Chains A and B, each alone.
Chain A
Amino acid sequence: MADYILEVNDLKTRYVTRFRENVYAVDGVSFKLKEGETLGIAGESGCGKSTLAMSLMGYYFPPLHYTSGSIIIDGREITGEDPEVLRRTALGTEIAYIPQAAMNALNPTRKIIKYINDVLVAHNIRLNKKELREMAEERLRLVNLPVEVLDRYPVELSGGMKQRTVIAISSLLSPKILIADEPSSALDVSSQKLVIKMLLDLIDKGLVKSMIFITHELPLLYNVTKKIAVMYAGQFVELGPAHESVFEPLHPYAKGLMGSIIVPSEGIRDEHLVAIPGTPPNLKAPPQHCRFAARCKFRQPLCDSVVVPERFASDGRLFRCLLPEAVLRELKYEDQIKSKQEDAEVELDVNIIPFAGDNGDGDSGKESGG
């Protein structure tokens, strides 16, 4: 038994478009997860969180490609393994995935029971009809689905039923880690809570050891997951215990993101995307300096010229900003750094790191804009 159930080190993956351009959607993500822990990943759409979810599976197919880094599940490094071995022995059993659009995730022309059988056969588990049905029925009961679902086609199920069917299928082989990509985005609020509870139950029942939630609906998550990471332009800009990350965010982007959602009762929940002016950088050519600089209220001259490394606060939280921890802790997103003169006086407490010229893709040279 390893210390961590999941260890991700400097993972980098990219999309290759039809025009052979690279889109660096996940660009150096690291984190560790202990057994029983849950991680929530938040960010605007297009920040790379869905890509991260797929990249964590360790199984890459076009247009997504692996660049570098490692994923270690319970002591087993799955990056670099033969895809066929990985498919048979890791996908679904070590790590499983619940897709964003659970509504369309099932093959519309295959009965649920047959599909379940396909999943089992793919892992060399061959059951006779009776065993298969018993096993499938048991799993459906776990997610409160009637057993009749097994003989239905996905088109004959309602949205919520499809969602639960997908959860049952994803957890079929008792994976150690379950990654849920926006598991609730298409549902109403009460169904959302139900789905999340159902997912957490899987851990309680010991079917799943650890879970990662990807969402932009943070209010649903902060009292559910143990840790929360905020993603921006393919990188984590903040990662820490859920409560602190939400209520005392360090990174200016996290402050902006959280600032608008803390009080959902005020009905401004959906404004957080407009609250931060500007748009995320083009990930075909991400800036080499701070990626958030262009939209940052607290931007310093240096922010445009140095690479920002992952930094750790005194309590072990990760943040990616040049401003000193102490300054960040004091700053509120509503605050202004008073004037231009004062800007210069904010002391940046890291050593200036020159351009590394290495973005993990050999794309050296100066910033090509975004």
Chain B
Amino acid sequence: MKGYTRYFRNRILWYLLTFVVALVLNFVLPRLMPGNPVASIAAGVTESLTDQKAAAEMLEEYTRAFGLDKSLPEQFLVFIGNLFKGDLGVSFRRYPTPVVQILKESVPWTIALQLPAILTGWMLGNLLGAIAAYRRGVFDRAIFPAFLFVGAFPSFGLAIILLFVFGIMLRVLPTSGGYGFDLIPGFNLQFIASAVRHYQLPFWSIVLNTIGGQAIGMRSMSIYELNADYVKYSRFLGIRDRRIVGYVFRNAMLPQVTGLALSLGTMVGGALVAETIFSYPGIGSTILSSIKAQDYPMISGATLFITVGVLLANLVIEILYGFIDPRIKANQQE
């Protein structure tokens, strides 16, 4: 077990460090840009408000939250301090709702949508890719370009097409929102049914895109593994084909797990934009409206959350990976 402990400790430390770098980036990027938007935005937003009192309040709140009257290093300390208190400032767009409050409303929607969608797409894609590699022939020749083509559609592109076909032409599924606009979220059958119906289109647009990309990767990994020496040897030992396919599938999956970790950021990005197509009440839509409303605290908070989410997901994947690939343990023992 010593090898594992060391591996996990290393990985956790590494991710903590990465998190710190991400924090610094989140803080520094908008502040170091010419014109320093963080300083100038508040002025812009308050100007457009007619209620002078509210504008003054907002400006004060903004100065407080971001420590604008202080130097850059001090601002960073304020930023970190606030972060640990769970204070990400107050949204301009929905003044005076705290950013954390808005995140709390939208995050569950995003997680409930993206986690199952990406996992489903990943699993289906791997399965189809492995089948294509194993069956070869017509199945492979027909399905490979199909994967490639579907995978070439960004998930928001698929979202638009699905929305148009199923939501508008065929009118079988709702086109916008996370649930019927006439319903109040609650644990009742009507609400759940509505939420499930609203879930379909965003879900499948993410799944389809993920399937395409993953199947291609899995197909070539499986072909590589099928040509591996251990496959030939196992065959000559008389081991059943089905068992050998099991070996190949498992071994080809391993790089796909790492691949998932590496491409998670890109996938989440695409999926967030797909959310906006359906005005799904998740973080994607929140970012879109925050950008439109120049709601800097909200943008900063949301991007920070996405970063943390992706880093955490990566960490979980890497830890799981440590358990399923014996090579990790072996490497640590040297």
Note whether A and B contact each other (Cβ less than 8 A): yes
Q: Are B236 and A91 in contact (CB under 8 A)?
A: yes
Chain A residues, CB < 8 A from B325: 109
Other-chain contact of A156, B251, B254, B324, B330 (Cβ < 8 Å): B330
Q: Does A319 contact B (CB under 8 A)?
A: no
- How many angstroms between the C-alpha atoms of A90 and B237 in the bound complex? 9
Chain B hits for A54, CB < 8 A = 232, 236
* A119-B254 contact given A107-B234, A153-B330, A156-B330, CB 8 Å threshold: no
Interface segment out of the listed A95-103, A252-260, A282-290, A334-342: A95-103
B104 contacts partner chain A, Cβ-Cβ < 8 Å: no
Asked if A122 lies at the interface with its beta carbon under 8 angstroms from chain B, I say yes
- Among residues of B, the one whose C-beta sits closest to the C-beta of A156 is B330
Q: Could you say which residues of chain A place their CB within 8 Å of the CB of B239?
A: 118-119, 122
Interface residues on B, range: 20 to 34
Cα–Cα, bound, A54→B232 (Å): 9
A92:B247 contact, CB within 8 angstroms: no
Q: Which of B233, B326, B329 counts the most A-chain CB atoms under 10 A from its CB?
A: B233
The B-contacting residues of A in range 209-257, CB under 8 angstroms, are none
Q: Are A156 and B234 in contact (CB under 8 A)?
A: no
Chain A interface, DSSP helix/strand/loop, else mixed:
loop
Shortest CB distance B236–A (Å):
4
| A109 and B235 form a contact (CB under 8 A) | no
Among B230, B232, B234, B329, contact of A108 (Cβ-Cβ < 8 Å): B230
Interface status of B243 (Cβ within 8 A of chain A): yes
**Closest CB-CB distance, A285 to chain B, in whole Å?**
25
B238/A122 in contact, CB under 8 A: yes
- A185: B residues at CB distance < 8 A: none
Whether A104 contacts B236 in the complex (CB less than 8 A), given A109-B251, A109-B254, A110-B247, comes out as: no
Q: Cβ of A96 and Cβ of B326 under 8 Å apart?
A: no
Checking B237, B324, B330 against A119 with a beta-carbon cut-off of 8 angstroms, the contacting residue is: B237
Q: 1/0 contact trace for A26-70 toward B, CB 8 Å?
A: 000000000000000000000000000010010101000000000
Given contacts A101-B229, A104-B229, contact A87 B240 (CB under 8 A): yes
Complex alpha-carbon distance, A166 and B229, angstroms: 12
* Chain B residues whose C-beta falls within 8 Å of the C-beta of A99 in the assembled complex: 229, 232-233, 236
Complex Cα spacing A163 to B314, Å: 37
Query: Is B327 part of the contact surface with A, judged by Cβ < 8 Å?
Result: yes
> If A105-B229, A107-B251, A122-B243 touch, does A96 touch B327 (CB 8 Å cutoff)?
no
- With a cutoff of 8 Å between Cβ atoms, the chain B residues found around residue A166 in the complex are 233
Measured between beta carbons, the chain A residues less than 8 angstroms from B229 are 99-101, 104-105
A71 within 8 A of partner (CB)? no
Task: Identify the closest chain A residue to B230 (Cβ).
Answer: A107
- With both beta carbons as reference points, the residue of chain B lying nearest to A62 in the complex is identified as B136
Residue A169 interfacial (CB < 8 Å): yes
Is B251 a contact partner of A61 (Cβ separation < 8 A)?
no
Nearest CB in chain B: distance from A96 CB, A: 7
Given known contacts A109-B254, A155-B327, A156-B330, is B237 in contact with A169 (CB within 8 Å)?
yes
15 example contacts (A-B, Cβ-Cβ < 8 A) are as follows A92-B237, A92-B238, A97-B237, A104-B228, A104-B230, A108-B251, A109-B324, A109-B326, A110-B247, A122-B238, A122-B239, A122-B243, A153-B330, A156-B330, A170-B237
Interface set of A (CB-CB < 8 Å, partner B): 54, 57, 59, 61, 87-88, 90-93, 96-97, 99-101, 104-111, 118-119, 122-123, 153, 155-156, 166, 169-170
